[in-house]
Amino acid sequence: MPATAPRCYTLLGAPFDGAATLGWPGSRYAPARIRDAMGWILQRRENGQIYCLDHGQLHPFPEDLFADGGDVAVVAHDLEATLRAAADGVRETLAAGRVPILLGGDDSLLFPAARGLAEAGEGTVAVVHLDAHLDLLDRNEQQGSHSHSSGMRRAAELPAVDVSASVQLGARHFNFPSSLRFREAQGLRNIPAAEIHRRGTERVAEEVLAHVAGADRVLLAFDIDCIDPAHAPGAGAHEPGGLTSFQALDLVQRLAPRADAMVLTEVNPLTDLHEQTANLAAYLVAHFVVHGGLPGTAGPAPTLEA
């Protein structure tokens, strides 16, 4: 049988934080800063390859592996139009045979990323959601129905999203009792940050891959605040006790081959320190691309200890 062609990736910016109703706004500036940081990484490509020291391996990196598709048609005053444009960007990128990476912006963008992936084909979608928070708020007077507190709730309502095959990683501290009731009723798996610290990223990633195995497609949704603010100060909210930068990178490396799209949100240049968080976000994107592998593969077998 002929070999399956390597997947190619397209970066889409969504410079929008109009749904950042809590915490600090400012994530609209993140796509530009992350793109700048990507240049530091991409200049290490030589002759269609890049060398990953984490595993001591050369990886293919041809010219068309990674492309910048520009920004989606954000409408600053119109949340619904912006969410629709983001979903269209994800869907159209998939229709072109490429893997979309949607850069927020605030975490309301989880919903259109899931929507675009769901609209791109038949079958079910699982969401692997890395976040300090559950984002399962239905609605309230101040935040409405679409905010950075409700992205996962709105995604769970999409007919194609298999909530029981989805999983949340990195949550910590306190949340609404109504979110617990929703999780229990829907069978939504949650692996909090404390459990990841105890068990290590290798075992957790293996469990996640087994959990999403029944879904046809997978969205990797990454809110930067799943990482401890000591490692990612440029975030919309600070929750101590989060993942280390190493744990986050290792999880992305291990999960990337199974993911059909990625959305990365809540990087906030206004609270960042010396571009530390934008740089980390760029490395998360780079590892997602480099370790994404072929469709359906289990990915590299890292020897790193979590």
Is 85 in a helix, a strand, or coil?
Answer: helix
Say what the pLDDT of residue 146 is: 72
- Output b/e per residue, 190-214; b: 16+ Cβ within 10 A: bbbbeebbeeebbebbeebbebbee
Residue 207's φ and ψ, nearest 5 degrees, are -65, -40
Q: Enumerate domains of the chain plus CATH numbers.
A: 9-290 (3.40.800.10)
pLDDT for the residue numbered 137: 87
The pLDDT value recorded for residue 22 is 83
* Neighbouring C-beta atoms of residue 277, cutoff 10 Å: 29
Q: DSSP state, 55?
A: T
Q: Both tokens of residue 1?
A: 């049988």
Instruction: Indicate the helix (H) or strand (E) that contains 265.
Output: strand 261-265
The Cα-based distances of 33 to 28, 30, 161, 225, 278 in angstroms read 10, 5, 31, 17, 6
Tally Cβ neighbours within 10 Å of residue 119.
18
pLDDT digits (tens), the chain, 306 positions? 344 668 999 999 999 998 888 878 999 999 999 999 999 999 999 999 999 999 999 999 999 999 999 999 999 999 999 999 999 999 999 999 999 999 999 999 999 999 999 999 999 999 999 999 999 988 876 766 677 678 999 999 999 999 999 999 999 999 989 999 999 999 999 999 999 999 999 999 999 999 999 999 999 999 999 999 999 999 999 999 999 999 999 999 999 999 999 999 999 999 999 999 999 999 999 999 999 976 544 334 333 333
Helix axes 276-290, 245-255, angle to 10 degrees: 20
